[in-house]
Amino acid sequence: MQRGRRTVVWLAGAAVLALGGCGYRPLYGTAGDDRGVVASLASVAIAEADTRLGQIVRNDLLSTMRPAGTAAEDRYVLVLRPEVKGSSVIDKPLPSTTRQSVQVIVNFELTGSNGVLFSGKTFSQVSYDVVREPFADMQAEANATERAAHEVSMDIRSRLAAYFASR
């Protein structure tokens, strides 16, 4: 039993040394000179949005990338171009079943002093049931749109973190 434990400890130590030797770094770790991913994300200014969808995505990004008191000097600007599309998923007259889908698409560009540094496009699709009550249907659509916006903002944040980690 004692020999088996030593082998496990030795293998765990070897794995730690191997990961350290290959240049592995945690995504949200910080470098000794404070230029880690977290610091880079905190230095991204996010352009004002002119639609409710854009405001939701922007507010999500602000709260995760630049929480109160952690914003750094603006070194980058993130421009978001969101759009929303609706479509019918199921529409059967009998037994009166309707399911709609909302797709949120966001094109984004990260710019710095040298122009566009990183750009991309992301989307999320969320569906909801139509119950043929105007207020309930409107709320269901709004909720689906917000859920899709939250998913898109988390994807943008992850992509920006990966970009900053690779630099």
Q: In whole angstroms, give the CA distance from residue 110 to residue 26.
A: 22
Which helix (H) or strand (E) segment holds residue 108: the answer is strand 97-112
Report the CATH number that the domain containing residue 110 is assigned in CATH.
3.30.160.150
- pLDDT greater at residue 69 or residue 76: 76
For residue 71, is it within any domain?
A: yes
**Is 29 part of a structural domain of the chain?**
no
Instruction: With respect to residue 123, please indicate whether it lies within any of the assigned structural domains.
Output: yes
Q: How many domains does the chain have?
A: 1
Bridge partners of 72, per DSSP, are none
Residue type, 23: G
Residue 144, domain extent: 37-165
Question: Are 87 and 110 a contacting pair, CB within 8 Å?
Answer: no
Provide the mean pLDDT of the chain.
85
CB neighbours of 96 closer than 8 A, spacing ≥ 6? 132
Cα–Cα distance measured from residue 147 to residue 28, given in angstroms and rounded to the nearest whole number = 25
**Which structure tokens are listed for 98?**
């309707």
Q: Is residue 5 part of a domain?
A: no
Within a domain: residue 51? yes
pLDDT tens, position by position, 93-108: 767 778 899 999 999 9
Select the more confidently predicted residue: 41 or 167: 41
CA distances to 47, 76, 110, 128, 139 from 38, rounded to whole Å, are 19, 14, 16, 35, 35
Angle between helices 134-165 and 52-65 (to 10 degrees): 40
Please indicate, yes or no, if residue 45 is contained in any of the structural domains.
Answer: yes
23 is a domain residue? no
Strand partners, 78: 46, 110
Cα-based angle 22, 28, 30 (whole degrees, multiple of 5): 80
pLDDT higher than threshold 50 for residue 34: no
Burial of 7 (0-12, 13-18, 19+ CB in 10 A): exposed
Q: Is the pLDDT of residue 121 over 70?
A: yes
Is 142 inside a domain boundary? yes
What confidence tier does 20 reach under pLDDT thresholds 50, 70, 90? low
**12-26, 81-95, 109-123 — which is least confidently predicted?**
12-26
CA neighbor of 158 nearest in space, from 92, 88, 86, 108: 108
Supply the pLDDT for residue 108: 97
Length of the chain: 167
Give percent of the chain with pLDDT exceeding 70.
83
